[in-house]
Chain A
């Protein structure tokens, strides 16, 4: 099927394009930008007047909750939420039940995702069996089954020795390892950034050293083992410096940050609202601003939703007893664009970190409108005002402090491989 997307403002940071032009799709792929190739006279026309035509978003951190945690969400609901948020490619976490430590589970997720016909789903495989940190997983088999990288998520390794072995083994087969730097002996029992706010409100703190000590250790081991490494969900100013230094010294590592760590600081915890309970925690404003600087400087090249849907009960408890995480994938782009409102980031940098940036971290063929790519794109109305509510939400999750809030900018339609999978009606 041929598609001709007309009159839209096409923005693709991967090619440096920002112009009102036409996009041509044939047989699932982008075949031209600008002038029509031959044979497009009878193509289906999509009028994108007043809208932006953007590459589909790439989200490196999504918990689909299936298999096993379907009271919180499932592949169909969260896939629908993803495309409603303009996410066409996503990487899902290994902490399902059962855990993604066998090819069967990895295959199951991808099959279900195919059936749902929503976003392209790439599972992360568990680095160790059961994420228990003791015995290495069948990394190669997992990779062959479609796992895009391996990670022990936020679960601790039994020892640094096991970690070294896991990294050496992954390096042997040139596999990508995703680190969530967290020294659990320091973060254990904590639920908030260790600082004035947590001290005042008596919330057990997580010191920034929980992240930076683990990060320093991980960087040393990456250097030693030569493993391909990605650092996920940085939250501290010092972490940005450390990644920058590692990159400067020639280490080929990448890093991402959750969008809420860029927008919020620990001041919001003064209401004891469990919706702001996330891991890593919302930290000081200095940390937040340094993370933004890290994006500007190219130290952090991906922004993710860190989408973690929960059932209602998970957040109905005193702060520390709530389960951590927010479910914001549906509002990822307008939420992230609040960063440009404040003048902190320019839109092109932001869009890069939501498209080609994350795709490059994981070597995914996504996040670009270049000729020959799969036609994953979105139509975005940058001036549309709308309210994201419990009623119109697509995610099964109830847990976002942004539910009920008005946003400027809305994904109006999402296309995957040239197929429209979502449209605002």
Chain B
């Protein structure tokens, strides 16, 4: 009955990715491989022909239990650039029969002989659950599960950082805003720690930055100036409007006053600091329009990098699945 840990679940017997569920347990070598591969797809994106036949004949299902047009679109584009056939499914879940409908949906999709599920779900661990209950040979890519993980977003952020900063050693990075509910922040923190960044600051009020994050290798700052002081990278998180209701914050304006990124507050960071945001942006809530559109902002680069990272992860997981299925020896290809 014992379930395997995510880290064991997502690697095949050769130590290659066969699912992509979380960054927890993935070492620097694999993360670097993802980034390197994404770079090669990125250069491909600059060509007139943006499509390669890697996943030709494969069926990729975008299985979104939580609606997100942006993330779904980038996965769709990535899959299409790999020549896969893509189906988009948006599934509304009723709170009462979540488990049943999820499993039933899976069984149906399996019967359609899909090769890869891109999964987004509001429950932490949902991608892991699906990976465990799916037939073998279907690769599961986590496109965000509850508050747990959003590994492709974190990796596209890592690619963005590497392309702008050349590497990770010695960087100072601030992640600002609603850390509590953020799967992006959790995955970023894991990626940064694994890639060798020792100064990661989580910035926000106590209601949004639980103290337990300090035990995960981050420094907690409740003051924006201390958090942004001399950083190389500022990551602003999206503030969901419903956070005001639960008493986590008094108002948007008070949050903006204390933690909003403006040209004035950005001046605390290094002069060449880059500003990132997983999107969609709430202008005037967590970030000013001047900064979002300004010279420090790499927000649109993130989107471009996102397609390349997703192509990288999808091709790696597909290859890992197929090699797990048939461990055959490759002949000389000449």
Contacts and interface: CB of A to CB of B under 8 A. Distances in A.
Do A and B touch directly, given a CB cutoff of 8 Å in the complex?
A: yes
Interface stretch (B169-177, B208-216, B291-299, B325-333): B208-216
A273 B99 contact: no
Contact of B129 (A202, A270, A272): A272
B4 to A, nearest CB: 7
A424 interface: no
B124 interface: yes
Interface in B145-193: 145-149, 183, 186
Given A318-B126, A321-B98, A272 B149 contact: no
Contacts of A404: 1
Contacts of B216: 196, 199-200
A401 B6 CA distance: 17
Contacts of B1: 275, 400-404
Nearest to B190: A200
Given A272-B3, A273-B2, A203 B98 contact: no
A202 B186 contact: yes
Interface residues of B, number: 32
Interface size class of A (residues with CB under 8 A): 20 to 34
B129 A317 contact: yes
A32 interface: no
Contacts of B124: 201-204, 272, 318-320
Given A200-B216, A202-B147, A318-B129, A270 B210 contact: no
Contacts of A317: 98-100, 102-103, 123, 129
A200 B3 contact: no
B310 interface: no
B25 to A, nearest CB: 10
B128 interface: yes
B197 to A, nearest CB: 18
A203 B123 CA distance: 8
Contacts of B212: 195-196, 199-200
Contacts of A403: 1
Contacts of B121: 318
A272 B99 contact: no
B125 A272 contact: yes
Contact of A271 (B4, B99, B102): B4
A322 to B, nearest CB: 7
A196 B218 CA distance: 13
A318 B2 contact: no
B2 A316 contact: no
A313 interface: yes
B102 to A, nearest CB: 6
Given A196-B212, A272-B124, A201 B148 contact: yes
20 contacts: A196-B212, A199-B210, A199-B213, A200-B186, A202-B149, A202-B186, A204-B124, A270-B6, A272-B3, A272-B125, A273-B2, A275-B1, A313-B103, A316-B103, A318-B123, A318-B146, A319-B129, A320-B125, A321-B123, A400-B1
